[in-house]
Chains A and B, each alone.
Chain A
Amino acid sequence: MTTEHTLVAPRSHPERSFGFGARLLGSQAFWASVATLIICVAITTISGTVATYENVFNTTRNFAFIGIMALGQTAVIITGGIDLAVGSVMGLSGIVFGLMMTSGYSLWSSILVALAVALACGAVNGYLVAYLQLSPFVVTLGMLSIARSLVLVVSNNRMVYQFGPDEELLFALGGGGLFGIPNPVLVLVGLTLVLGALLNFTAWGRHLYAIGGNEQAARLTGVPVNRIKLSAYLLSSLMAGIAAILMIGWLGSVTNALGLTYELRVIAAAVIGGANLAGGEGTAYGALIEAALLEIIRNSLLLAGVDPYWQGTFIGLFIIFAVLLERVRGKRDTALFERIRGKRSG
């Protein structure tokens, strides 16, 4: 490399701007993991009840449903969008699933239809957001209302608690486990690994980040923006459908309240896990660890004897705190970059 025309001499490590350690310390998912660990240890020493096998089994299973949906939500948020409809889509595909099972269809055909219903909702969201370029907030808010009302229409406001010939299979799927790990947790871990690989190692993942970073630039450079955005909303709804089926298998019943207000917890998990609502940032691991953190806090509060009515307050505070943290982090990064620029030009 000739230095004749370069404005600045190359630094000693021309490839790496920030080392692995620095990147780790700068990642929100890392700090969230640390916070989760600290809270676990603290609660265990205080109450001595968290670490029992039953409680860990229950807690991990509880966060699995939110975590699965948070994965899809993360993909949507990376593109700079938001999916408020996940809770309602979960309810709709769940009630359709329950009604199919109770009328004697097999587990597999019921799963197929339930996931197809979820995908149909995602397709409507994605089409309106990507191709007609409507605001994702408004579109998915509309779908939240539509899907929730369809739950009542389809179920005629009755509860489903008998699941036909494949009932045992369903309960084993949602309520059972393998090697002492609940099935929903295994599904969550599997999906996290798959999404993590897709985000990091495929053109699809790179395009998601590109769209969130600068949608106009992505369009100009030939990224199939509409198709990629549509796929993110499809993924989010599909995850809601998967979570619905697993949850029904665990609960053993479907009511019209399935998934009600879950969008809040799902978005909270994704955002606290490092997904930036402005787009362009977010990781699969972050979504998983944050779903865990929220559930552990909820569980700890319950065990510590805090009135469950306070739960919403704590979760709300956590969301605000996470966004605040992001702001602080953003400022620090900006200051760091300014310093680097100063050094280069000085």
Chain B
Amino acid sequence: MGDNGAGKSTLVKIIAGNFPPSSGEILLDGRPVHFHWPTDARHAGIEVVYQDLALCDNLTAAANVFLGREVRRSFAGMFRCLDNAYMYQRARELFAELKSDTRPADLVRTMLGGQRRAVAIARTRLARARTVLMDEPTAAISVRQVAEVLDLIRRLRDQGIAVILISHRMPDVFAVCDRIMVLRRGRKVAEKPVAQTSPEEITGLITGAIERVP
């Protein structure tokens, strides 16, 4: 958690391999890793749902799900062309798993907020992800959709996938998280199990009313 400009989204993009870290290191299962491209992070089992969902409006749902990792097959033994049939089929399965009515052949431009979110989330389910980062997945959506997203986070957790939730919304964080970390002005000021803290303390840490918790 953290205030606007605390560096939450930047941290997400560093972990996802979009920006190089200026210092420090990333440990995965205790081993240092270095990501130069988003694909590097993906190979390490890290998937991201970005704040703005990172969708291309002019492409179909299936094309967006597979963006940057299109499935190709050889044609006439030499040309590598897109395997659209497979990608549509797989996207349809993913949307069904997510209990979404999103259709693979629809253009994202024509979609509702919940369907767009389903496309972004379906991406994280393509590979066998071990860590999923979600940047403000519950911002600016209806109460019902918030409940669906929180439900999804719990399901991911039950499958043994680590979820890192970036959020402003205190109730959501306390509803699904095990540990809370607070960032202020690019620095970590606290890291506590949910059971040992309270919304009041976290608010104090975010605003700076409470300087730091060891």
Contact = CB atoms under 8 A, between A and B. Distances in A.
B24 interface: no
Contacts of A15: 88, 103-105
A281 interface: yes
A206 B52 CA distance: 21
B38 A220 contact: yes
A213 B101 CA distance: 23
Given A221-B68, A223-B67, A209 B58 contact: yes
Contacts of A5: 99, 148
A316 B138 CA distance: 49
Contact of B103 (A14, A206, A212, A219): A14
Interface string B75-108: 1000111100000100000001001110111110
Interface in A281-326: 281
Contact of A17 (B16, B59, B81, B107): B107
**CB-based closest 4 A-B pairs:** A213-B56, A222-B68, A222-B38, A217-B54
B101 A221 contact: no
Interface string A206-244: 100110111011111111000000000000000000000
A209 B72 contact: no
Given A1-B96, A202-B82, A203-B82, A218 B68 contact: yes
Nearest to B106: A17
Contacts, number: 104
A12 interface: no
Interface in B108-145: 109-110, 112, 114, 123
A214 B112 CA distance: 18
Given A6-B99, A214-B55, A222 B63 contact: no
A153 B87 CA distance: 53
A184 B62 CA distance: 38
Interface string A113-153: 00000000000000000000000000000000000000000
Contacts of A1: 96
Contacts of B75: 201
A210 B70 CA distance: 12
A16 B63 CA distance: 15
A210 B56 contact: yes
Interface string A23-59: 0000000000000000000000000000000000000
Interface of B: 13, 16, 18, 37-39, 42, 48, 50, 52-59, 63, 67-70, 72, 75, 79-82, 88, 96, 99-101, 103-107, 109-110, 112, 114, 123, 148
Interface stretch (A60-68, A87-95, A163-171, A336-344): A336-344
Interface string A1-15: 110111111100011
* B-side interface mostly: loop
Interface in A168-215: 201-203, 206, 209-210, 212-214
B123 A206 contact: no
A212 B58 contact: yes
A280 interface: yes
Contacts of B18: 219-220
Contacts of A223: 67-68
Given A219-B18, A223-B68, 16 more contacts: A5-B99, A15-B103, A15-B104, A17-B103, A17-B110, A201-B75, A201-B81, A202-B72, A203-B70, A203-B82, A217-B50, A217-B56, A218-B68, A222-B39, A223-B67, A337-B109
Contacts of B110: 17, 337, 340-341
A156 interface: no
Interface residues of A, number: 37
Nearest to B17: A222
24 contacts: A1-B96, A17-B105, A17-B107, A17-B110, A201-B75, A202-B80, A203-B82, A206-B67, A209-B58, A210-B56, A210-B67, A216-B54, A217-B53, A218-B67, A218-B68, A220-B13, A220-B48, A220-B54, A221-B69, A222-B37, A222-B42, A280-B57, A280-B58, A337-B109
Nearest to A336: B110
A1 B82 CA distance: 27
Nearest to A205: B82
A217 B101 contact: no
A209 B56 contact: yes
Given A222-B38, A337-B110, A214 B101 contact: no
Nearest to A16: B105
A220 B70 contact: no
